[in-house]
Structure 1
Amino acid sequence: MTKVNVYVVRHGQTYYNIYNKLQGWSNSPLTEKGIEDANTAGQKLANLSFAAAYCSDTTRAQQTVQTILNLNESGSVKKAQSTPFFREEFYGYYEGTNMDEAWYVAGAPHGVPTFKEIVAKYSIGKAKDFLKEADPFHDAENNDEYWQRLNQGFQLIRANKQLHDNDNVLLISHGNTLLSMMERFAGDKYDLSVRPDNGSVTKMILTGQDVKVEYYNH
């Protein structure tokens, strides 16, 4: 494998998305709109032939990826490989908490009481560190723990001996994970104060050495 095209789709809308709750390793079902999001993404990608598909092992990601694969006209991949490596950030004690309240607890002691202010002054990575610090159990992932896990996901793709140069790979992941990838791989190219749309498509180029972003949140 020299390089592969990775099409990253954020899962369809869930009830926790509507309720403004942190949803990392916890899970809530897709809404009717969430099912539409998955169908819309499937229609966007229907004419692409995929050599492999991956998703986080949450049901919201699994349902989204299966919808997309069912709509794919090439039909070359029937089922995705589910893995915890591509899960959303683990929010620990704050799983299921109102997002604004959780980020206030994490950021206010540092003078940045909202997620946007944490990101503007520090980074998305630092937001992870602040949340773990605020977690009374310290179970939430900090930035290093998060990337150790996510990098294993990229290594899983790289280790797929069935992939060839310029193959297309489908990957279903999550909102904060997309933001985290854009911060690390796209520099300051995109406004990361706004979460990517449910069902949006981002294209990345994965090589044996690095990851480059071709476009984001389409």
Structure 2
Amino acid sequence: MAINLYIVRHGETYFNFLHRFQGWSDAPLTSKGIQHGLDAGSRLANIHFDGVYSSDLTRAIHTARYILKNNTSNSPVEPHELPDFREQFFGSFEGIDSEIVATTMSAYTTKNFTTYSDLVTEYGMAETMNTIRLADPFDFAENDEQWWTRVSHGFADIRDRHQDGDNVLIVSHGTTIRGIAEKLNRHDLASDAVKNGALMQIELLPNSANISRFNDDSTVF
């Protein structure tokens, strides 16, 4: 049994444009972000999706709708919301400039960092998530275990809903997509920031999963 997953990052939001941590906070799509959704829809237009899902955050829901607007293959017309595929919750760091967050994280590591991606490259997604949790003075932020528990539940849900050969679209978030890549033993991919509107393609098997594309914003299917 193999389910074909197409996991797309939402389009650009105003927080993305301003380089602010977003997490469970929500900011509307920019005009460029709307175009990211439409462009992804054009690239995926010829795929019939047996299921379409998004996280329950507005930016993901709206991006999924823009993708479906350009689908020509009798796919569902509205995404089903799955909270399990939300972004990591950044707690007290929500809405904070990303460079400030990276500098703060340096106080909890053995090296100094100026960007979030540098932190991920050095320590990996799991340790980065755990460091964010450690640095959050109110203990709101999710750690790696909390984040992966819910995302794993999301994958189990998809397996229960679908059968061999189904094509499934999921609109999710950058850190979540990178974290999934690392859980599938692809730290080399997780080190790359995911572009808005880009996709990760996964063959979801009963007890494993394989990545065939990552950060792809050019392939027309």
What amino acid is the match of 2:203? I
Query: 1:122 — aligned with what?
Result: 123
1:15 CA drift (Å): 0.3
Number of aligned residue pairs: give it: 214
For the 8 Å contact 2:108–2:131, the answer to whether it is kept is no
Q: CA deviation at 1:86?
A: 0.4
Structure 2 Cα separation of the partners of residues 14 and 63 of structure 1: 11
Task: Please tell me the residue identity of whatever aligns with 1:195.
Answer: A
**Cα distance between partner residues in 1 of 2:120 and 2:203:** 25
Q: Which residue of 1 aligns with 2:9?
A: 10
Q: CA–CA distance in 2 between the matches of 1:120 and 1:59? A: 29
Displacement, 1:186? 4.3
| Equivalent residue number for residue 139 of structure 1 | 140
Q: How does 1:49-128 map to 2 (within 5 A)?
A: 49-114=48-113, 115-128=116-129
| 3-state SS in 1 of match to 2:200 | strand
SS in 2 for 1:216: strand
**Could you say which residue in structure 1 is the equivalent of 2:181?**
182
Q: CA deviation at 1:143?
A: 0.4
Q: 2: CA distance between counterparts of 1:134 and 1:207? A: 36
* Cross-structure match for 2:192: 194
Give the alignment's Cα RMSD to 1 decimal: 1.3
Match for residue 44 of structure 2? 45
Structure 1, unmatched stretches of 5+, are none
Q: Sequence identity of aligned pairs in percent?
A: 36
The unaligned stretches of length 5 or more in structure 2 are 217-221
Contact (CA 8 Å) 1:12, 1:33: kept in 2 or not? yes
Map Cα deviations across residues 24-45 of structure 1 (whole Å, 9 max, x no partner).
Answer: 0001000000001000000000
Partner of 1:203: 201
Do the aligned partners of 2:53 and 2:169 also contact (CA within 8 Å) in 1? yes
**Structure 1, 33-42 or 120-129: larger mean CA deviation:** 120-129
SS at match of 2:107: helix
Contact 1:103 1:131 in 2 (8 A): no
User: Helix, strand or coil for the counterpart of 2:170?
Assistant: strand
Q: 1: CA distance between counterparts of 2:39 and 2:121?
A: 32
Q: Is the 8 A contact 1:5 1:167 kept in 2?
A: yes
TM-score when normalising by structure 1:
0.94
Confirm or deny: 8 A CA contact 2:124 2:187 kept in the other structure: no
Pairwise CA distance, 1:169: 0.2
Instruction: Map Cα deviations across residues 171-199 of structure 1 (whole Å, 9 max, x no partner).
Output: 00011111111112142443x33311100
TM-score (norm 2): 0.92
Q: Give SS of 2:108's match.
A: helix
Alpha-carbon deviation of 1:209?
A: 0.8
Shift of 1:73: 0.6
State how far apart, in whole Å, the 1-side matches of 2:102 and 2:87 are: 16
Conserved 8 A contact 1:107-1:130: no
